[in-house]
Structure 1
Amino acid sequence: MKFEWDEAKSLACFEQRGFDFAYAAKAFFDPKRSIRPDDRRDYGEDRYRLFGDINGRIYVVVFTLRNGTIRIISAHKANQREVRSYDNSIYG
């Protein structure tokens, strides 16, 4: 997998949340990851929300595909509702 991101956004994520986008990219390697369209608003491009486990913690990574590359837009640790959503996608 090939990733890219805006370095300023990655740094802001690190400063606000304690991890950068390089760390968040690990969620893509969770074999139980769940990907859903991000249709919360019209972004002018197709965006997706990935729910994935990194070292026992669920993360949500918003991304788009550009020329075959995964472009990370934002990331955060999943809240309780998002963790339940991840669990439901695995265990039904």
Structure 2
Amino acid sequence: MKFEFDPKKSQSNFEKHGLTFEEAKALWNSKAVVLKARCTDEERFMMMGTIKGKIHSCIFTVRKDAIRLISVRRSHEKEERFYAQKIRND
């Protein structure tokens, strides 16, 4: 799977959320839930999955043949409950 991202945005994400986009790639190796994200300018998705046993949420889009990472952070409590319910039911 090919990923792309802006290195400056990855650094900014690390400073704000403590996670780089390189680390975010691990979400694609976990059991994940993907939803369409609210966005008006391009189709974006939110993926919830685990990194080091903690649930994270990642916003991404697909451009040509690559997944472009936009942001990643620890999931909010409501998102964690939603993720746990979806994983249990699947």
Write out the 4+ residue segments of structure 1 that deviate beyond 3 Å after TM superposition: none
Give 2:63's aligned amino acid.
R
**3-state SS of paired residue (1:84):** helix
- How many residue pairs get aligned? The number is 89
Counterpart mapping for 1:11-90 below 5 A: 11-30=11-30, 32-39=31-38, 41-42=39-40, 44-90=41-87
**3-state SS of paired residue (2:57):** strand
Q: Distance in 1 between matches of 2:12 and 2:35?
A: 24
Q: What's the TM-score once normalised by structure 1's chain length?
A: 0.91
Give 1:81's aligned amino acid.
K
Q: What's the TM-score once normalised by structure 2's chain length?
A: 0.93
For structure 2, which runs of at least 5 residues remain unmatched after alignment?
A: none
